[in-house]
């Protein structure tokens, strides 16, 4: 894995050494950020189900104002810290990496925050995309974009509350579904 574009372009990222974590491929991340385009620059970004942190790191590389990583697996949280250190030159175990980076274990503490871009990558299972959308739908700022990565074989939820499905892009076994108000 590597950072695809921006300030940290080409820098390598560590992959998990255990089963159960499926990092978003470089190709799919490139597709995601090509579609998001300029919406990332200066944005408050939420990388939900962050895993390796690759999506949030890519957002930082492309000029995001801040990134909040949400991940409950302690091994993955340590991997995110390692990957941040690889790209930003910080030392693991000495947070904060930068003032614009926050790592959280759950969505509950974020209720008062509004994000411009939210990217969710829950486990690929039936209903997982809908559950993830439900957890984060209330965190999107007006005019923001919310993206759910899911298995292409599972249909994307049509929406949640005021959020509506705008577009789904399939690449191999994965799909990216884009939502907005």
58-83 pLDDT tens trace: 999 999 999 999 998 889 999 999 99
What Rg, from alpha-carbon coordinates, does the chain have? 15
16-36 pLDDT tens trace: 888 877 788 889 999 999 999
Note if the bond before 96 is cis, omega within 30 degrees.
yes
Model-wide pTM > 0.85 = yes
78-101 pLDDT tens trace: 999 999 988 876 444 434 444 457
List helix spans (H) across the chain: 26-36, 54-61, 74-88, 128-136
Whether residue 78 contacts residue 105, with contact meaning beta carbons closer than 8 Å, is answered with: no
Nearest to 72 by CA among 46, 105, 49: 105
Which element (helix H / strand E) includes 148? strand 140-151
Nearest to 87 by CA among 68, 125, 145, 79: 79
* Fold observed for domain 26-146+165-180: Rossmann fold (3.40.50)
């Amino acid at each position: 894995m590597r950072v695809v574009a921006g300030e940290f372009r080409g820098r390598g990222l560590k992959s998990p050494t255990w089963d159960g974590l499926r990092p978003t491929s470089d190709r799919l991340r490139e597709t995601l950020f090509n579609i998001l385009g300029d919406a990332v620059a200066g944005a408050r970004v939420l990388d939900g189900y962050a895993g390796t942190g690759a999506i949030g790191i890519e957002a930082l590389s492309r000029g995001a104002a801040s990134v909040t990583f949400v991940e409950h697996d302690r091994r993955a949280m340590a991997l995110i810290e390692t990957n941040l250190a690889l790209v930003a030159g910080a030392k693991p175990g000495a947070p904060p990496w930068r003032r614009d980076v926050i790592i959280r274990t759950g969505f509950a503490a974020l209720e008062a925050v509004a994000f411009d871009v939210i990217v969710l990558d829950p486990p690929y299972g039936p209903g997982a995309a809908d559950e993830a959308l439900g957890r984060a739908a209330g965190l999107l700022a007006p005019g923001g974009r919310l993206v759910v990565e899911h298995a292409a074989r599972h249909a994307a939820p049509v929406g949640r509350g005021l959020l509506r499905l705008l577009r789904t892009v399939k690449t191999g076994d994965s799909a990216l579904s884009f939502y907005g108000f």
